[in-house]
Chain A
């Protein structure tokens, strides 16, 4: 059996739910918070680890490479991925990559994959990260690599040179097959991640270090600057606040009931999933 190569794209996200916003650069002040591996990325890694274990049962060898684009502190999640069982960790890091939007992030990740692992069999990503939640990098990366993509997978089965993927869409399960090489994004609820072992952490900082690649080594143009070159720009990120307005209906019971049905009947019906007017008559109310 030939060596099966999986690349997982992971991202370091802040541990807090709200991060301060730098209005000048239009980016989040990431350096203020402790980082963690994005939960969706972690599930993608878990999927890869399970594929590796399944293949090993039949004597097959799998190489798992985790790839991330981020500042130097993002190296931590690559060590964590190694501690969990990834074979190789790669950090694409350069000042000129900072501020990249999803389009340029996908472009940069693709540059590495095309140059260093052109014979990749399967690329896995989380469906969406916990900080930006765009869900765009996976499909855009597949586009850059000119490979087919499937999103929101909850189960992947490797069958020779194609995969069978199950996903939960609306109220039903879909089962699809896709030729490899291909890209799959893993659904947020799928592949419960395993805990990291302490021995694994010790090993991750052992003999082989993670690989660090800067813009020049990656072959990016000398004028490349992600912040300036990004075709999209996030204008603002904020939590929406809701305001409640209370309405008090006054009067005799019949008046109030009439007001309730006339003014709010439609809203109540759609919330209940029943037509109030006809429903009432059927039951003789």
Chain B
């Protein structure tokens, strides 16, 4: 077992870091302050395959392995968690379900434009009465002669404000209540984008509500077989959790690096604060947990590529990395002292961005449920 990253993974990391440091970093504070999605940066990201990370070459993607994918998301998130979120959600729950469950015709119709970044993907599941309890979904899809009519409101949709290809989780009434996933193009009549949410963190991501008012979609827009909605949702979440774990790790990594450099410079009591044991303890905690999180994350990614079940391991990675992001960013603000509380420094933004990683794509409580279920269903 070789725990050293191979040359390809090192080069992937450097490639993304170079772009992020030069093109994104100068703008991050402003984007966060103004809660603005950077269309101009996205234009420069498109030709570099950020929006088709694991899409096959013949459809315009980079065809990367999952560890490389995790590294891309981590490095992007290290500079801008909001852009890292956009890219991971687009790739993991936007494109991946179509590649995995779509017909050949659906793949040819939707994936190339998404891989090129010309149509951003989003997945809407959450509703006012359905968060952790996905069974509470009320958005309906009534079957008609030539397709379906969708009615309902989805909230907290990541990329909602800019998405062109939206995957909607809805319930079809009939002989048996069944959950389905539909692909809705933003141009469809009856599809409306709500106001962008005013959030604590991830502010450059256009999270919004999406309204479906008698939104008609043809039969060809049903993803997978009828009734496969739950299976698609769960499989999408497993992949999505790897991406979120990577995102949380990137935030933690940024906070940790800033803390190390600040601790070496800041002098109190005639010495750099890095000489004090308390600060050293914080740095040691941060480094150890980030390292552990990365190992859990890459293990889950490797299992996915092997084609073996990886749900529990993806949940462990998401749980651990998001809790680490929260703890590390908290320590980072503390190490920076008063300056850590000021917007003049980046750490308060990492602190605000980190919190939601414990909530979306399955709260930490839900992750523990998934892991416990895995433990208790193992043969003893």
- Tell me the bound Cα distance from A196 to B13 in angstroms: 11
Q: Which of B49-67 contact A (CB under 8 A)?
A: 49-50, 52-53, 57, 61-64
Interface segment among B14-22, B150-158, B288-296, B312-320: the answer is B14-22
Q: Does B8 contact A (CB under 8 A)?
A: yes
A195 B18 Cβ-Cβ under 8 A? yes
- Tell me the bound Cα distance from A265 to B16 in angstroms: 53
B48 A202 Cβ-Cβ under 8 A? no
Known: A197-B47, A198-B12, A198-B48. A79 touches B62 (CB 8 A): no
- Tell me the bound Cα distance from A1 to B362 in angstroms: 60
Inter-chain contacts of B64 with A (CB < 8 A) = 198, 202
Q: How distant is B99 from chain A, measured CB to nearest CB, in Å?
A: 16
Binary CB contact string for chain B from 139 to 157 against chain A (1 if under 8 A, 0 otherwise):
0000000000000000000
Q: Which of B1-18 contact A (CB under 8 A)?
A: 7-8, 10-12, 14-16, 18
Inter-chain contacts of B49 with A (CB < 8 A) = 197-199
Q: How distant is B249 from chain A, measured CB to nearest CB, in Å?
A: 19
Binary CB contact string for chain A from 196 to 220 against chain B (1 if under 8 A, 0 otherwise):
1111011011000000000000000
Known: A202-B62, A202-B63, A202-B64. A196 touches B7 (CB 8 A): no
Q: How distant is B164 from chain A, measured CB to nearest CB, in Å?
A: 21
A contact residues, total (Cβ < 8 Å): 16
A76 B11 Cβ-Cβ under 8 A? yes
Q: How distant is A49 from chain B, measured CB to nearest CB, in Å?
A: 14
- Tell me the bound Cα distance from A202 to B6 in angstroms: 13
Q: Which of A30-81 contact B (CB under 8 A)?
A: 34, 36, 75-76, 79-80
B62 A197 Cβ-Cβ under 8 A? yes
Most B CB within 10 A of own CB, among A36, A75, A76, A195: A195
Q: Does A83 contact B (CB under 8 A)?
A: yes
Interface SS of chain A: helix
Q: Total number of A-B contacts with CB less than 8 angstroms? A: 57
Select one of B15, B44, B50, B61 contacting A201, CB under 8 A.
Answer: B15
Q: Does B124 contact A (CB under 8 A)?
A: no
B57's nearest neighbour on chain A, judged by CB, is: A199
Inter-chain contacts of B72 with A (CB < 8 A) = 198
Inter-chain contacts of A83 with B (CB < 8 A) = 11, 15
A75 B7 Cβ-Cβ under 8 A? yes
Inter-chain contacts of A198 with B (CB < 8 A) = 12, 15-16, 48-50, 53, 62, 64, 68, 72
Known: A36-B14, A202-B64. A195 touches B48 (CB 8 A): yes
A196's nearest neighbour on chain B, judged by CB, is: B15
Known: A202-B62, A202-B63. A197 touches B8 (CB 8 A): no
- Tell me the bound Cα distance from A75 to B10 in angstroms: 12
Most B CB within 10 A of own CB, among A80, A196, A197, A201: A201
Q: How distant is B289 from chain A, measured CB to nearest CB, in Å?
A: 23
Inter-chain contacts of A76 with B (CB < 8 A) = 7, 10-11
Inter-chain contacts of B62 with A (CB < 8 A) = 197-199, 201-202
* Pairs A–B under 8 Å by Cβ, sample size 7: A83-B11, A195-B19, A196-B15, A198-B50, A198-B62, A201-B62, A202-B63
Contact surface of B with A, Cβ cutoff 8 Å: 7-8, 10-12, 14-16, 18-19, 44, 47-50, 52-53, 57, 61-64, 68, 72
Contact surface of A with B, Cβ cutoff 8 Å: 34, 36, 75-76, 79-80, 83, 195-199, 201-202, 204-205
Given contacts A80-B11, A196-B18, 5 further A-B contacts (CB under 8 A): A79-B7, A80-B14, A80-B15, A198-B64, A199-B49
